[in-house]
Amino acid sequence: MKLRRRDFLLFLTLVSAAAEPAFGQLKPIDGPASPGSNQISGSIPDLSGAWGHNFLLFEPPSAGSGPIVTKLHTPAGTLMFNAVGDYTNPILKPEAAEVVKRSAEKELSGAAIPNPHNQCWPEPTPFTLNIQFGVKIIQQKDEVVLINLTNQVRRVRLNVPHSPRPTPTWQGESVGHYEGDTLIVDTVGQQVGPISMIDRFGTPFSAALHVIERYRLIDGKLAQDLQQKHIRNNYFLRESPYRNPYGMGDIDPDTMKPGLQVEITVDDPVMFTTPWSGYVTYRPVLGFWPEAICAENTQGSGSSWVVIVPRADKPDF
């Protein structure tokens, strides 16, 4: 009898040990893996932490329709880093092309172009991915929190469907779920306003905008190569001139650590002739995440500031 009891306890110990995930394995999550599904369990990748890159703008896809890029090139053939968007891109419908053209003309005239970033407004998606140098990700059971520099905070509710009729807001309604090693974020209901745009070229969007982001870990050396390719092949022959923006730490040089790749798919049948996609590649950031506050005001700072805050001609009292 004692032998059988000992064997039974040993069996329970082995089963319990086998059920515990090893250090570094994917973390288990209970509940449905996609909005409205009935999947009992799954696993999620560890995307948490601070991620950054030393340049901006979307990386083009290897095939298919990609994002708007600048219309101007350097003598060396690389793209110029400016806000003169290519309004002749066939993905733009006439209304959108006209908006991008007007923004390009302002940029060429030397006038500053107001956008959500330089006005300290809430940044829509995917504009914030186009203009921000970094993101801090906090993963929780029921939501993922995305914190960008300049105090941009976005909450992604997990494993729930969209509201039947989302109330339009500046950042829209984002819901997410995990599929294998990928976090998929689906965003609709973004408010259309005077400076609503997809990118720093002023590309507009309508109330029909639908954005899907796919976050996944990739090999660290591949992430380094993709970042350098984006900078050197597209814009600068050597290195990006940007370092430690807003006090963000250095990019971790250790390529043994994984990188983070975000694939963005944009669909807006009012403004675009076809859905298009782009990428953003991040690598781990060293040090503490900086507290950089950007507050809308009537004074501003820097050459890119245009005051569009309403101002009364005379005091109300």
Q: Is residue 115 part of a domain?
A: yes
Residue 109 CA: distances (Å) to CA of 35, 103, 173, 288, 289? 48, 10, 37, 40, 37
Of the two residues 82 and 129, the one the predictor is more confident about is 129
Q: Is 36 inside a domain boundary?
A: no
pLDDT grade for 107, boundaries at 50, 70 and 90 = confident
Number of domains composing the chain: 1
Asked whether residue 1 is assigned to any structural domain, the reply reads: no
Q: How confident is the model at residue 241 (pLDDT cuts 50, 70, 90)?
A: low
Tell me whether residue 56 is in a domain: yes
User: What pLDDT shows up at residue 191?
Assistant: 96
d(CA 137, CA 115): 24
Q: How confident is the model at residue 238 (pLDDT cuts 50, 70, 90)?
A: low
Q: Which residue did the predictor score with more confidence, 32 or 250?
A: 250
pLDDT digits (tens, 9 = 90+) for 76-101: 777 877 889 999 999 999 999 999 99
Comparing 12-16, 83-87, 209-213, which segment has the lowest mean pLDDT? 12-16
**pLDDT greater than 80 at residue 38:** no
249 pLDDT higher than 70: yes
- Domain membership flag for residue 156: yes
Q: Which of the four pLDDT bands, split at 50, 70 and 90, describes residue 55?
A: confident
Average pLDDT in the chain? 82
Residue 314 located in a structural domain: no
The per-residue pLDDT for 236 is 66
Q: Mean per-residue pLDDT for 297-316? A: 62
pTM of the model: 0.80
Q: Is residue 304 part of a domain?
A: no
Q: What is the mean pLDDT of residues 37-59?
A: 77
Instruction: Provide the pLDDT confidence category of residue 124 given band limits of 50, 70 and 90.
Output: very high
- pLDDT at position 317, please? 74
Q: H/E/C letters for each residue in the chain?
A: CHHHHHHHHHHHHHHHHHHCCCCCCCEEEECCCCCCCCCCEEEECCCCEEEECCCCCCECCCCCCCCCCECCECCCCCECCCCCECCCCCCECHHHHHHHHHHHHHHHHCCCCCCCCCCCCCCCCCHHHHHCCEEEEEECCCEEEEEECCCEEEEEEECCCCCCCCCCECCCEEEEEEECCEEEEEEECECCCCCCCCCCCCCCCCCCCEEEEEEEEECHHHHHHHHHHHHHHHCCCCCCCCCCHHHCCCECCCCCCCEEEEEEEEECCCCECCCEEEEEEEEEECCCCCCCCCCCCCCCCCCCCCCCCCCCCCCCC
Tens digit of each residue's pLDDT (9 = 90 or more) over 135-178: 999 999 999 999 998 878 999 999 999 999 999 999 999 999 99
Mean pLDDT of all residues in 23-44: 38
298: pLDDT strictly greater than 80: no
- Average pLDDT (246-270) is 94
Name the band, by pLDDT with cuts 50, 70 and 90, for residue 311: low
In the prediction, which pLDDT does 268 show? 98
Identify the pLDDT of residue 299.
Answer: 60
Q: Please provide the DSSP assignment of 91-118 as one string.
A: TB-HHHHHHHHHHHHHHHHT-----TTT
Return the pLDDT at 80.
78
pLDDT in the model for residue 151: 79
Is residue 7 a part of any domain in this protein? no
220, pLDDT greater than 90:
yes
Structural domain for 251, as ranges: 49-284
Kindly state the percentage of the chain with pLDDT values over 70: 79
% of the chain surpassing 90 pLDDT:
55
Phi-psi region of 31 (alpha: psi -120 to 50; beta: other; left: phi over 0): left
